[in-house]
Amino acid sequence: MNPVGLSTLYWKEVLRFLKVTVQTVLTPVITALLYLLVFAQVLEDHVEVYAGISYIVFLIPGLVMMSVIQNAFANSSSSLIQSKMVGNIVFLLLSPISPLEFFVAFVAAAVTRGLVVGLGVWLTALWFVDLPLAHPGWVLLFGVAGSAVLGAMGVVAGIWAEKFDQLAAFQNFIILPLSFLSGVFYSIESLPPVWREVSRFNPFFYMIDGFRYGFLGVSDISPWFSLGVSGLFLALVSAVCIRMLATGYRLRG
């Protein structure tokens, strides 16, 4: 291991998104707040997902987690595609950093951005509602796991894409649909049986459901099962990502 190289690359990625905090942190927080205001205004008096829990309280953990995973993906994917387009990816490839260290640094930076944005959404939401925090450990565990999964997916997308519109297609046709159809705005128990079973094949659902359990103490699926699915998906995506880095797929022209 090269701890100096790993930590240097990590801090380079963190400072990259901190340089433009209005775009990378403030804008996602405002976007989540708009979702909260619109959906809470429309559905607050008409929907009760869990007994004794208002819809706005149900909604906030889902919005927080959606912001976490989308920004974790954006951090690693945008950094890689920019490096490839500008041409400075060659300096990373020539540096004494192994594929594993490359992977860990990029994913750790993506986790950092995801958690920072999630914290911002949560703190902003506290101005509007008294949100419970039943199991803080589960919140942190699923927050890290979910952002790590999407950070790894962002590395895969950044390696695979050769131009910005390919990366946008990956995000618009894979990440966004899986995010919105993962139970952020509803419980899968309210869906027809067919769509309920389809939702169980969406790995994002388990991340959000487990994360919500950390706040509310109730969920559609056992948090242990959700953690197992999230861990398995993380291992799978990580293996693919490290393999791509090790072979230089679309990195070494």
**Token pair of 253, please?**
């022209």
Cβ contact 29:127 at 8 Å: no
- Residue 42 is predicted with a pLDDT of 74
pLDDT < 50: residue spans in the chain? none
Burial 41-55 (b: 16+ CB within 10 A, else e): eebeeebebbeeeeb
122 and 187 in contact (C-beta within 8 Å)?
no
- The confidence score (pLDDT) of residue 1 equals 77
Residue 238: C-alpha distances to residues 221, 231, 235, 241, 242 (Å): 24, 10, 5, 5, 6
Residue type for position 246: A
Taking alpha carbons only, the member of 30, 29, 59, 19 closest to residue 42 is: 59
pLDDT score of 97: 92
What pLDDT does residue 46 have? Answer: 64
d(CA 25, CA 21): 5
Q: What sign does the CA torsion over 214, 103, 89, 109 have?
A: positive
